[in-house]
Amino acid sequence: MSLLLPHPFLSAGLALMWLVLNAPPSPGNIVLALLIGLIVPAVMRALRPAPVRVRRPGLAVRLLFIVLYDMLRSNIDVASIILGLRRGERRAGFVSIPLDMQTPFGLSVLSIILTATPGTLWVQYDTHTGRLLMHLIDDTDSEGWVRRVKDRYERPLMEIFA
C-alpha cells in the first residue's frame, strides 16, 4: 500500500480538490482526480525533501507573534499610505540585505514572512553573494529595514533551523 499510496492524505486531498474545482463531477473528472491523486504523490516521493528539524520551538512561537504584530502594523501603514493619511515624501524602492542564513528551510520561511507582510516583497536571492533583494512600498529607511530583517527575522530563524 505504501508503494502505491506513499502519502494517502495528500492523494485524497488532491483528488478531492480536483473534484471541487471541476464541479459538477463527471466520470472523466473522477478518473482525472484519481490519476492526479496517485501520480503527484509518487512524483513527490522521488524528490525526497530533507526532514525539517526545529531546534527551538518556543522561539518559533515567539517569532510567530512577532510576525503577526509586524503584519498588523504593516497593514495599518499601507492603508494609511493608500488612503492618503500619511503626509510627506514616499517612494517605492529596493533594498539589498546581506543574509548570513543559508539553510533552505530558514530562507523559505523568511521569504514567506517578507512576502506576506504588506508593503514588502522578496524579489531575489543570490546564493553566491548571500544577498536578498527586497522591494518596499515606502523606502524611507533602508538601513532600518536591513536591521529589522536581520534582527527580527533572520537571527531567530537561524536559531530555529540551525
pLDDT tens-digit readout, 54-63? 899 999 999 9
**Which residues on adjacent β-strands are paired with residue 125?**
132
**What's the mean pLDDT in 129-144?**
90
Both 122 and 67 in one domain: the answer is yes
Question: What is the C-alpha separation between 133 and 121, in angstroms, rounded?
Answer: 9
Within this chain, do residues 12 and 35 fall inside the same structural domain, yes or no? Answer: yes
pTM: 0.73
Claim to verify: residue 116 and residue 39 sit in the same structural domain: no
pLDDT band at 1 (very low <50, low <70, confident <90, very high): low
Return d(Cα 73, Cα 58) in angstroms, integer.
23
Same domain flag for 152 and 73? yes
Host domain of residue 123:
57-160
CA angle 48, 11, 6 (to 5 degrees): 40
Q: Which residue has the cell 472523466?
A: 28
CA 161/CA 94 separation, integer angstroms: 27
**52 in any annotated domain:** no
The answer to whether residue 3 is domain-embedded is no
Assess whether pLDDT exceeds 70 at residue 4. yes
